[in-house]
Amino acid sequence: MWPHGSIPIKDYAIETPFKKPSKDDTFHEVKIDFNPSSAIEAIHFILKDEETGASYQHKGRDFRVSLVNYLEDDGNMIHAKSSFGKWPDAVEQLPNMVLKAEASCDSKNENRRLEGFYEEQPIVKEVSVGNMVNVAIRKFPDAANIVLHLETDIPGDVVVHWGVCRDDAKTWEIPAVPYPPETTVFRNKALRTLLQPTGNGSRALFTLDEKLDGFLFVLKLDANSWVNFQGNDFYIPLSSARSVKGQSDSESEETSGKAHTDGIINEIRNLVSGLNSEKSLQTKVKEAKESILNEIEKLAAEAYSIFRSSTPSYPEEDSDADDAEPTINISSGTGSGFEILCQGFNWESNKSGRWYMELKEKASEISSLGFTVIWLPPPTESVSPEGYMPKDLYNLNSRYGTIDELKDLVKSLHGVGLKVLGDVVLNHRCAHYQNQNGVWNIFGGRLNWDDRAVVGDDPHFQGRGNKSSGDNFHAAPNIDHSQDFVRKDLIEWLCWLREEIGYDGWRLDFVRGFWGGYVKDYLDASEPYFAVGEYWDSLSYTYGEMDHNQDAHRQRIVDWINATNGTAGAFDVTTKGILHSALERREYWRLSDQKGKPPGVVGWWPSRAVTFIENHDTGSTQGHWRFPGGKEMQGYAYILTHPGTPAVFYDHIVSHHRSEIGALISLRNRNKIHCRSIVEIVKAERDVYAATIDDRVAMKIGPGYYEPPSGPQRWSLALEGYDYKVWEASS
């Protein structure tokens, strides 16, 4: 019964292209022939846009045409009790439908014969359009007003519906005059201003009292179209404009208490989260921009994309005291800033059934190498033995060992000074039971959720939740984190793991699948010492060759970190990919971006970048993206001397690389290199890359020549291996 051109999709579906009956026809069609006496109960389908890959469904579910009890021997007989005005199941699921039929009546058996029918279902194709909304605030010296400039490239007439607020409640008020041209009062609660057209869009200037707390707005495009931020008003804080007036960097650092810095984080986060990725603050004076940038880096460089054109500074560092240990507060995004992470398992670790006990025997050895944090495998019962298809979250008897063995392991690791990260899978969960349609989306165990906990836009699992806030993982039901009961249960579970098992923090699996703001909620509640997310997607390639500029790739990772409010770091996939091309192709020039900085996340937000060269997915027996063979130590010479938080794969510390890795870790520790250390790239050419770090360490990788220059700084060779060297500055 497969139409021509059909191809199987795994073992559960068929993909069939639409075709025109003739060249002159406007419509496309698919004809499916079937035997009416077969056991087929229904036909399920979705429509796929070949151009965009988007799928069209009905209210988040498959379209379904029921066949049982409606087809007789010749395939077109329908019972008299079923009227032609309503075809059960099918019509109920297809709104705005026109049903046309011709019928003949057989009075003897009171059946009606369906000769033909026509159904019409309008489908709206959504096309993603990227537009900008730029907001800039300027405080003029010796003036009591703030000038806010709002500009957008949205075409046509755009009306900004706006007001101001005086406190954190964000209650709308109408400010005092003056107002921009074309402004009217709306219901005595807000103002409406028609933006004035420019060459590439429209804009308006707003003069506001400096005592106001914030500027609130939404954009009205027409009678039925509004632009807001995830269902809420856009909020632009005005206090940051006041804080930069006449204030030097040092004064700002001295007067910023915890309440002030927390406020700045929220203010900048609101600016970034509410607007699209490209922003410009062209009207800001240079002094104001520099002051804000210093504050941003002090708070972990929140919202880098707004201020991308400037060079971040590092106010935590005391550049005049080389021997002074930098003061870095412990936070879940960075730990102490001096962390060195060991991944404590590989893809095969589950096969012995006693991995926890095996790792316990190596605890002292791992600690002696200089690691401070160890990442353990997923602890929960799982459909897959590796643990990444969790089922009952409170059942911690897994293929790695029992819950008691896990507790014993964590206690032993703590005993040798190691912090312990649990690998938690929050994006998806495997169900215990099938629903009435035979779909696995009903959960058991302590968290006995129903299909409301599953996102509604994954056709495979028929969830009744809201649309996913990220990318769907199609192998298991994707959890809807917008549900209050889901977030409450997951917070309780994470806190239980912290207390019951003793985990110090988290490695978060597949965070691309849900909004980073939910991660912030989970981390605020569970208060980890350290947390890192796996945000993994493809780098940019042109005709199979990696692009030199990977800003778009690292921006997506930075955007996710920013969505967590900097409460989590992220694996620096960008740096790993660039190292691949640089080492494989002898193109070491790739290790410097257009501004002479490291080209990965570590070049933009080093304190939140967890650098690595291999893990259980990319290496081990999976080998999905294996690091260039024989060049592993060049990779470690790079990440263990540079800022960021370096992570070392278990397979490498139990290999012949062990002693070299240990030597690099020792060098990093004794030179106090940390996640915010300063890199100066001195050479990035075809066959060599060289850099100095904090003026204490110099390094080079690649077969080309480099020696640190002689001068007031005296260098001594500390480590040397295949195509890498590392020097230390003499005291």
- In tens, the pLDDT along 26-38 reads 777 888 877 767 7
Mean pLDDT to the nearest integer, 524-544:
94
**Closest among 586, 572, 657 to 615, alpha carbons compared:** 572
In the predicted model, is pLDDT for residue 223 greater than 90?
no
Can you give the pTM of this predicted structure? Answer: 0.60
For tokens 């856009």, name the residue: 234
C-beta of residue 421 within 8 angstroms of C-beta of residue 408: no
In the predicted model, is pLDDT for residue 42 greater than 70?
yes
Q: Which among 386, 458, 534, 632 is annotated as catalytic?
A: 534
Tell me which of 118 and 364 has the higher pLDDT: 364
Which tens digits make up the pLDDT trace of 384-431?
999 999 999 999 999 999 999 999 999 999 999 999 999 999 999 999
CA distances from 703 to 386, 586, 588, 613, 633 (A): 39, 9, 10, 19, 13
Mean pLDDT to the nearest integer, 316-335:
55
What pLDDT is attached to residue 140?
65
Rama region for 89: left / alpha / beta (φ>0; ψ in -120 to 50; rest): left
In the predicted model, is pLDDT for residue 50 greater than 50?
yes
CA distances from 363 to 309, 373, 378, 417, 514 (A): 45, 11, 18, 10, 34
Reduced to 3 states, what is the DSSP secondary structure of residue 636? helix
CA distances from 721 to 212, 246, 405, 727 (A): 61, 52, 39, 12
In the predicted model, is pLDDT for residue 117 greater than 60?
no
In the predicted model, is pLDDT for residue 456 greater than 60?
yes
Residue 349: in which H helix or E strand, if any? none
What pLDDT is attached to residue 597?
96
Q: Which among 405, 458, 509, 614 is annotated as catalytic?
A: 509
> What does 199-210 look like in DSSP terms, one character per residue?
SSSEEEEEEEET
Tell me which of 48 and 120 has the higher pLDDT: 48
What pLDDT is attached to residue 319?
34
The pLDDT confidence band at residue 283, using thresholds 50, 70 and 90, is: very low
Tell me which of 215 and 42 has the higher pLDDT: 215
534 catalytic? Reply is: yes
Strands (E), 295-359: 341-343
Tell me which of 661 and 710 has the higher pLDDT: 661
User: What percentage of residues in the chain have a pLDDT greater than 70?
Assistant: 77
What pLDDT is attached to residue 128?
57
Which tens digits make up the pLDDT trace of 589-634?
999 999 999 999 999 999 999 999 999 999 999 989 999 999 999 9
**Closest among 583, 591, 587, 588 to 550, alpha carbons compared:** 591
Domains of the chain, each with CATH number or no CATH = 1-69 (no CATH), 133-237 (2.60.40)
